[in-house]
Structure 1
Amino acid sequence: MVWGHWNVWGSLVWFGFMFPPADLLSEKDMEVLLQATGCSSELLRPLCRTDCLSERYRSFTGECNNRQHPKWGAANTAYSRWLHPEYEDFRGAPRGWDPEHTYNNFTLPPVRLVSQEVLLTQNDDISLDTSLSHLLVEWGQWIDHDLALTPQSPSTAKLTSLSCRVSPSRPVPQIPLSDPRTGIQSCMPFFRSAPSCVGGALAGTPPHHHREQLNAITSFVDASMVYGSSSSLAAALRDSSSRLGRLALNDQASDQGLAYMPYLPRLCPLSVAYIMCCLGDSRANEHLGMIALHTLFLREHNRLVEQLHLLNPHWGPDTLYQEARKIIGAIHQILTWEHYLPRVLGETATSQLMPTFRGYDPETDPSISNVFSAAAFRFAHVTVQPVVARLGSGYSLSPEHPSLPLHHSLFASWRVVQEGGIDPILRGLLLSPAKLQLPGQMMVEELTERLFQAQGGLPLDLAALNLQRGRDHGLPGYSSWRALCGLSVPNTTSDLADILGSPGLAEKFRSLYGTPQNIDVWVGAISEPPLAGGRVGPLLACLLARQFRALRDGDRFWWEREGVFTGAQRAALHAVSLSRIICDNTRIAHVPSDPFRHTVSPDDMLACNHALIPHLNLSAWKEPDTDPKCGLVPRLESGFSMLCDSTIYYQCAPGYQLIGPSLVTCDPNSQLWNAAPPTCHDVDECADQPTLCPENKDCLNTPGSYMCKGKVL
């Protein structure tokens, strides 16, 4: 069943038809409707726990991070708005939906025409970034997959090459007559983003019932692409049999003993082909770089739980899992804010736009903004190289895993297993430079002309899709966002030429859009020359910094917040290094001290045992054996325990039953534990389940388990 756009207010709108007002529907009818559309999870206010564990660990969904606003930053909620959307009608038709509709007395150009005229760059006509590695580009997409996932709506708004009209009066983006694809396809395939069930509003203003889009994952930098944004996915990604809290591994293939991500139980349909896909974030299989990073952090999680188990053998699998998850989340925050963003924004802009952390602010909404997801954080698409470098041992070229045209690396997870694992891919990312974005060198043809071509079907155009996505989301034009950021607003072509530093590019925009006010925000923002030391211009610096500031200040579990980690743990975390993580989880023996900086020669790499590639010292995670007031912490035989703010949580190992309280608390007055610790009693599986063993064998109970033995005749 395909459901359309629901607005839950006085009545429900479904593909433009009106349901009866809510008071004509019974309570049961409303409940059925809300469940069927998935709106119930969006509308219900979650109940937030206040126990010690809820203070120590995030929820998977992001709910209750903010106790006053428990849905802020949570999965399956609407993107926030910094400006009111500009749709073509009250139902939320995308900008440019009607080719005769004018904005500021001009019609909007077809997105494919903008791609061809402004963005298309031949693969061999690019300049390389002598300062930054391609791993920085990859990290941007990796973090994007931690922040936002916009589900698409398989509704009548699908734009296909077979039917390029939703209805006779609703044409969709066409392929211009001047386009090389004319005669092959008449329009670009496109799905509209699924709408939220609730209308959107700017902070501090009354609710508006315009169309809003959903973020299906948590907004927070919490490594949700590794662990999932729901309890069910998190459970599916775990090794349920592990007593160490490990993530699940591939049981069909390994990288010479090192783990791969587990496969999905069935092949994934992709255009005209079916491929083997990896379980996890739905975008993990997009290209080789993503698979490499997913694999890297799966291995790092499992390495951490083993190390934490050695420090705290009394911790159970859930504690080990959550502590490793918490560390991985902090690592992502540190690498992004301290290593990635200063290179994107530039040191000066970072210091001006990203002031020092002053503490958690419960009045800051950390939700991802629509403009950030649909436009601003797509800036790095113009820094992608057309070739995926794969390098052998010693960072040498190798015939076993040659470099690939970019489109041959997309949805090609099989190449990881069959062509050398993740090491060649990571070596290529470490040694290859990023592409420079220049006015005449925007997006390589691998992305505008060959996107997903290797998987069969018609190739897509990433630039056109980005532009259409912004229009689909009703993002106002370029000038409106300049005004929001307090920047000068171009009114003439001359004004625009001054801002862009390129009269030729400004003239292209004039011929396409008629006025600077109509320029799509994504293409306008990426066209600005970068700030000193950075890779983005003033508008992108403003939008990116505003979002990342909110993600930091509005996160109750931000790694620097007092009480999230101890002082000793924060000091240890501050030394984290992506190069160290690569050393610890691959067979790569030499790495750069700074993996985001372009390393000119393999000779400049450092051995993994070099002092500049420090290990993460986990000694600060050793749990004390005593409580400050109640003294010795009672442990369990055949069970697990964890001390959390003078409360001990108990759990028995599998095959044992907990007898007694699952937690005891230190009484500060008596300075005694408020109850005796529980005990773990062996479960007699043979008595409880007489049919465990086949008829020709006897069931023999063993401590924590059982065994089936042949009957004595």
Structure 2
Amino acid sequence: MFAAGKMAKTVFITIIVSSLIFIATAQSPIACPKNARYRTIDGSCNNLKNPTWGKCDITLRRLTDHRGHPMVAYEDGKSLPRGYPNKLPNPRTVSNLVSDSALGPRNQYDRWRTGEVMCFGQLIAHDYIETAPAAAVNCCNNKDPHFGNIDVCFPFNIPAGDSSFPPSCKNFVRSKAAPKNQHSPPYREQVNLITSYIDASFLYGSRKGVAVAVRVPNSFLMKVDRGNILPSIAGGGCLKDTPNVRCPFAGDSRSVVVPYLSLNHLLYVREHNRLSTRLKKLNSCWSNEKVFEETRRIIIAQLQHIVYNHFLPAVLDKHTMRKFHLYSRRWGYNNVYNDRVDASIFSSFSGAAARYGHSQIMPDASELKNDFSTVITHKLEDTYFNPYLMQQHYGSNIKDLTRWIATKQSQKVDTFFVDAVRNKLFSNRNPPGSDLFARNIQRGREEGLPAYNEWRNYCGLRKFRYFHEFGYFGSRLSSVYKSVNDVDLIVGALLEKGRRGSVGPTFACILGIQYHRLKVGDRYWYESHDRRFAFTQAQLNSIKRSTSLSKIWCTNFGIEYIQKNIFKIPRRSNKLRHCKRIRDINLYLWKDHSCASSSYHQVYSGKRYSK
């Protein structure tokens, strides 16, 4: 998969170098308490030497090559999108040539992975990436004041003869750029609006205002509506074409985009409330704030354990997992923290590699009844920004949605996108919709990401010299790209084949580096033995032994049967089993013996807990 010797040397030199070379932002000095037990909401002060690293509202970073030069490819070296104005092919034309699902095999479902691999992947991506458009602009309207302004607008056209769209302009607003100051690089860089750490900010928010809004006032609980569903607000971005629809909100504003994303948000709201309620019973002397923060610590630890030991192995091959030291230790502490490593998100991850999951999106968001055979199908394009499936009858259909996501197959990681996102993206909101694959190409160009071949070289892989090296699609690419060296990163990387359906080697390289940094650059990493905030060894071992998304899933959604590994299709080695047979975290290990009394031990005795 990789050119092993060169790859190992290049990657680990790059990790060190790129961790030391970062983009500074001119901000007021931050006074950080050195003994803080809990993370800040905005991610500041995780790194005590560089308090802004990883916090919200800082710039995306650039990986640097072996010479220490940033991997950036703006057309003018500063801000013009790569290939601007007409040096690269129309993104919709490229999409039609390589991403149309009709060009792929009849069955494009993954043999091993469930829909939750895609759904959870979207949730996790929203935990550390959010770039925003510079303004609410219609770049296709010549009356808009920003029309024709390349600093704001980068629309693309639908060519004549397109089978799904009439010739037209597709709006594309460039992501918000960081303000220039004396510390800025000479080129344009985008702002990440949320924290870079895996810290469940999709649940708790990255700003104080959001963190307050999602909590029940003067309580340790998160807000819910009747039926124990996501709380709702007046207004919001939801479609209101169904009676009694309310717009749900969560720690991340994107929770309403599709039902399965809302479902995973609800999962963690319920898990927080489940754990915090038990912690309060266990430690009656704790203040509401302490109960909340201790629950937050546990949720984040569980999330980090799931991401690195269950989710990433379903995305990356074993070689990549080991090369970048992504697995946790089976037992005990693992002091991986390095304060020279900047955990902030970098552009090639945000603008391309993290988008591999778009190819896994299924064409429907459906319900599976309790006999596991009756399916009620809802087309994905009909569910955008429509929370009806989650809210009808006060959430009574939620169990049916959970069975479908947990047991049905995702699409493969490949170049093919289902019609719901390639031809009908948000069509129920802005007809006739848009093309996610084309938008991904446009995003990489507007962020100045170098071409695919440059990333192969960066990762120690042999650069392509001829179009035929792309296989079947080589001739198609040669019909629109002038050179192999022009092919966009996301186009070339999604054409690669990974081991057993994992991502290909170029994206594996970029993902491996970023996830290594998210782990090693996090002072509060859940395996840390720092006495100021570490779990006891018994608590940590319980988290490692008992944490599984399957248990969190079936406990909070009230379903009876689930496979042990929710990311893999149920089969002989991963059979459906009763939820009570899956181990739960032992919260008695969090018993504060300074509290005068608690009924917890009498109610929850024994080694395993199912409720």
TM-score (norm 2): 0.85
- Pair 1:92 & 2:79 matched: yes
Total equivalences in the alignment: 550
In the TM superposition, residue 467 of structure 1 has moved relative to its aligned partner by 0.9
Q: Which residue of 2 aligns with 1:140?
A: 121
Counterpart position of 1:322 = 293
Quick one: which amino acid aligns to residue 62 of structure 1? G
Aligned to 2:608: none
* Deviation, structure 1 residue 510: 1.8
Select the residue among 400, 412, 431 that pairs with 1:424: 400
Do the aligned partners of 1:272 and 1:457 also contact (CA within 8 Å) in 2? no
Tell me, yes or no, if the aligned pair for 2:198 and 2:518 is still in contact at 8 Å: yes
2:537 to 529, 544, 567: 567
Once the two structures are superposed, the pairs formed by residues 324-363 of structure 1 within 5 Å of their partners are 324-354=295-325, 358-363=335-340
Q: Does residue 260 in structure 1 map to residue 229 in structure 2? A: yes
1:179 maps to: 162
1:404-415 aligned within 5 A = 404-415=378-389
Letter paired with 2:42: T
Counterpart position of 2:476: 508
1:132-281 superposed matches below 5 A: 132-154=113-135, 158-160=138-140, 166-167=147-148, 172-181=155-164, 184-198=166-180, 208-242=185-219, 245-250=220-225, 253-254=226-227, 259-268=228-237, 276-280=246-250, 281=252
Q: Say whether the 8 Å CA contact 2:568–2:574 is kept in structure 1.
A: no
Letter of the structure 1 residue corresponding to residue 33 of structure 2: R
Q: Match for 2:44: what amino acid?
A: E
Correspondence for 2:438: 464
Identical counterparts, % of pairs: 29
Q: Give the drift of 1:185.
A: 4.7
SS of the residue corresponding to residue 387 of structure 1 reads coil
2:513 counterpart residue number: 546
| Equivalent residue, structure 2, for 1:537 | 504
Larger RCO: Structure 1 or Structure 2 (Cα < 8 Å, ≥ 6 residues apart)?
2
Query: How does 1:541-690 map onto structure 2 within 5 Å?
Result: 541-563=508-530, 564-574=534-544, 575-599=546-570, 604-610=575-581, 613-625=582-594
Query: Is 1:287–2:239 an aligned residue pair?
Result: no
CA separation of 1:168 and 1:208: change in aligned 2, threshold 3 A: closer
Distance 1:458 1:351, change over 3 A: same
Q: CA 1:185–1:262 in structure 2 vs 1: closer, same or farther (change >3 Å)?
A: farther
Displacement of 1:468 in angstroms is 0.8
Q: Kindly tell me: are residues 263 and 549 of structure 1, through their superposed partners in 2, closer, same or farther at Cα, counting changes over 3 Å?
A: same
Decide which moves more: 339-348 or 415-424: 415-424
Deviation at 1:207, TM superposition (A): 5.1
Cα offset, 1:284, TM superposition: 0.2
Question: In structure 1, what is the equivalent of residue 28 of structure 2?
Answer: 44
Listed as ranges, the matches of 1:434-449 within 5 Å are 434-438=410-414, 442-449=416-423
Deviation at 1:117, TM superposition (A): 0.9
CA distance in 2, matches of 1:191, 1:291: 25
Q: Larger Cα Rg: Structure 1 or Structure 2? A: 1
User: Compared with structure 1, are the counterparts of its residues 561 and 198 closer, same or farther at alpha carbon in structure 2 (3 Å cutoff)?
Assistant: farther
| Whole-angstrom CA distance in 2 between matches of 1:278 and 1:185 | 36
CA-CA distance at 1:198 after TM superposition = 4.2
Equivalent position SS for 1:130: strand
**Runs of 5+ in structure 2 lacking a partner?**
1-23, 64-69, 328-333, 598-611
**SS of 2:178 mapped into structure 1:** coil
- Aligned with 2:493 (options 525, 529, 542): 525
Whole-Å separation in 2 of the counterparts to 1:546 and 1:144: 15
Question: Could you list the per-position Cα deviations for residues 221-241 of structure 1 after superposition, in whole angstroms to 9, with x for gaps in the alignment?
Answer: 000000000111101110004
Among candidates 347, 366, 369, match of residue 370 of structure 1? 347
Secondary structure of 1:591 counterpart: strand
The structural deviation recorded for 1:602 is 14
User: 1:6-17 counterparts in 2 under 5 A?
Assistant: none
Distance 1:240 1:171 in 2: 43
Match of 2:90? 110
Q: Aligned pair 1:482/2:456, yes or no?
A: yes
Higher strand content, 1 or 2: 1
Give the aligned partner of residue 128 of structure 1. Answer: 109
**Which digits, 9 at most, give the CA deviation of each residue in 1:603-626, with x for residues without a partner?**
94111111xx1011112211232x
Residue 117 and residue 558 in structure 1: after superposition, are their counterparts in 2 closer, same or farther (change >3 A)? same
Which has the larger helix fraction? 2
Taking a change above 3 Å as real, the CA distance of residues 486 and 90 of structure 1, as seen in their structure-2 partners, is closer
Deviations 1:505-550 (A, max 9, x none): 12222222121211111111111111x2351111011000100000
Partner of 1:19: none
* In structure 1, C-alpha distance between the alignment counterparts of 2:350 and 2:310, rounded to whole Å: 21
SS at match of 2:61: coil
Equivalent residue letter for 1:109: P
Determine the C-alpha separation between the residues in 1 that align with 2:490 and 2:239.
28
Q: Partners in 1 of 2:238 and 2:382 — Cα distance? A: 17
Is contact 2:326–2:515 with CA below 8 Å preserved after alignment? no
Cα distance change, pair 161–291 in 1 and its aligned pair in 2 (3 A): same
Q: Kindly state the Cα deviation for residue 180 of structure 1 after the two structures are TM-superposed.
A: 2.8
Q: Kindly indicate whether the alpha-carbon contact (under 8 Å) linking 2:154 and 2:172 is maintained by their aligned counterparts in 1.
A: no
TM-superposition CA deviations, 1:550-589 (whole Å, max 9, x none): 0000000100111321101110100201111122212211
- Cα distance, 1:600–1:445 mapped onto 2, change above 3 Å: farther
Do 1:552 and 1:558's aligned partners in 2 also have CA atoms closer than 8 Å? yes
Deviations 1:591-645 (A, max 9, x none): 11111111259994111111xx1011112211232xxxxxxx8x89xxxxxxxxx
- Alignment gaps of 5+ in structure 1: 1-39, 100-106, 201-205, 626-632, 637-713
Task: Output the CA distance in 2 between the equivalents of 1:417 and 1:271.
Answer: 12
CA–CA separation in structure 2 for the residues paired with 1:443 and 1:354? 31
In structure 2, distance between residues paired with 1:385 and 1:301: 28
**Equivalents in 1 of 2:536, 2:408: separation in Å?**
38
Q: SS at 1:187's partner residue?
A: strand
Q: Is the 8 A contact 2:140 2:155 kept in 1?
A: no
Q: Distance in 1 between matches of 2:366 and 2:574?
A: 18
Is the CA contact 1:375–1:521 (under 8 Å) kept in the aligned structure 2?
yes
Seen in structure 2, the aligned counterparts of structure 1 residues 451 and 168 have a Cα distance that, compared at 3 Å, is closer
Task: Report how far residue 42 of structure 1 moved.
Answer: 6.4
Instruction: Tell me the residue number matched to 1:69.
Output: 50
Match for 1:467: what amino acid?
I
For 1:431, give the aligned amino acid. Answer: T
| Separation in structure 1 between the aligned mates of residue 195 and residue 167 of structure 2, nearest angstrom | 37
- Scaled by the length of structure 1, the TM-score of the pair is 0.73
**2: CA distance, partners of 1:74 / 1:603:** 39
Q: Kindly tell me: are residues 181 and 585 of structure 1, through their superposed partners in 2, closer, same or farther at Cα, counting changes over 3 Å?
A: closer
| Structure-2 separation of matches of 1:435 and 1:283 | 22
Contact 2:335 2:529 in 1 (8 A): no
Note closer, same or farther for the CA distance 1:305–1:581 as it changes in structure 2 (3 Å cut): same
Counterpart of 1:513 in 2: which secondary structure?
A: coil
CA RMSD of aligned residues (A): 2.8
Aligned residue identity for 1:433: Q
- CA–CA separation in structure 2 for the residues paired with 1:542 and 1:360: 21
Q: Aligned AA for 1:264?
A: I
Instruction: Name 2:6's counterpart in structure 1.
Output: none
> CA 1:161–1:175 in structure 2 vs 1: closer, same or farther (change >3 Å)?
farther
How big is the shift at 1:113? 0.7
- Structure 1's 162 and 134: CA in aligned 2 closer, same or farther, altered over 3 A? farther
Kindly provide the CA deviation profile for residues 22-63 of structure 1, in whole angstroms up to 9, marking residues without a partner as x: xxxxxxxxxxxxxxxxxx996223211124xx1x10000000
